[in-house]
């Protein structure tokens, strides 16, 4: 139904969800007014009209970026930093029309694979380590973008 925009699961098992109309004008208005709120022209969410929400297990083959994000969270250590760095490089290259959309996840996956092969798996000890990992991930991803340019 596209009304759940975010969910946070807590260690006690409870889940907090943020719901709203499936209309991008609301998050755009939120961004424009930050840190305040402003009225958005989108229709108000009517839960009685929706009546129920349905959920399905995600298709990790159809959505490879989700599969990679889950793997990075399970792996921990450097993985989330490397994923984020590679994703930002891939998205920027896509927006610059240098690569195709489907190349983004492939670049992220290959970046993480190469970084791990280079031994970049340790848990960052401090911000300096995170920045070093980010720089390494971006360098690998940038090299991969160069080889995939459309």
| Model confidence pLDDT, tens digit, residues 15-54 | 999 998 888 888 888 899 999 999 988 899 999 999 999 9
Two structure tokens written together for 101: 């959309």
- Tens digits of residue pLDDT in 120-139: 988 999 999 999 999 999 99
pLDDT value at position 150? 59
Nearest to 103 by CA among 149, 143, 135: 149
* Cα–Cα distances in angstroms (integers) from residue 114 to residues 27, 44, 59, 122, 133, in the given order: 36, 47, 25, 14, 13
- Tens digits of residue pLDDT in 77-114: 999 999 999 999 999 999 999 999 999 999 999 999 99
Residue ranges of E strands in 10-142? 15-19
pTM of the model: 0.75
């Amino acid at each position: 139904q596209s009304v759940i925009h975010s969910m946070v699961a807590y260690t006690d098992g409870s889940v907090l969800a943020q719901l709203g109309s499936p209309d991008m004008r609301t998050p755009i208005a939120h961004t424009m007014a930050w840190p305040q709120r402003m009225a958005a022209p989108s229709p108000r969410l009517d839960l009685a009209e929706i009546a129920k929400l349905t959920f399905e297990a995600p298709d990790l083959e159809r959505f490879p970026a989700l599969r990679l994000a889950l793997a990075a969270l399970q792996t921990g250590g450097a993985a989330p930093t490397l994923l984020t760095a590679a994703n930002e490089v891939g998205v920027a290259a896509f927006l610059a029309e240098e690569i195709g959309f489907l190349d983004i996840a492939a670049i992220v996956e290959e970046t993480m694979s190469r970084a791990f092969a280079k031994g970049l798996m340790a848990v960052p000890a401090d911000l300096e380590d995170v920045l070093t990992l980010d720089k390494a991930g971006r360098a690998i991803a940038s090299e991969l973008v160069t080889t995939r340019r459309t």
